[in-house]
Amino acid sequence: MKIPVIDIGACILCEICTELAPQAFAINDAGFVEVLHLEDYSDQTIHEAVKNCPKDCITWE
C-alpha cells in the first residue's frame, strides 16, 4: 500500500492538506505537517490533498 510522505523542507504550512484530508494530515506540536497513521490511504480526499499541495511536496512511497 502506498503512503503519502511530506517533504518538510518544501512545505509552506498552507494547511490545504490538513483542510482537505484532516484524517490523514495534521500539524504536529513541532509545527510541521505530519502524516497520520491510517490502514488505508486510498480515500479520494487524500488524493485531492496531494494534488492540491501548492508546493507538490507530498509524494507517494
Minimum distance from CB of 42 to ligand SF4 (Å)?
19
Q: Pattern of binders to ligand SF4 over 12-31, x per CB under 6 A?
A: xxxxxx--------------
Measured distance CA(9)–CA(21) in Å, rounded:
20
Nearest to 50 by CA among 59, 37, 39, 61: 59
- Residue 47 in the binding site for ligand SF4 (CB under 6 A): no
Per DSSP, 39 falls in state S
In the bound state with ligand SF4, the residue whose beta carbon lies nearer, of 34 and 39, is 34
- Gap between the terminal Cα atoms of the chain: 9
What residues make contact with ligand SF4 under the rule CB under 6 A? 6, 11-17, 33, 53-55, 57-58
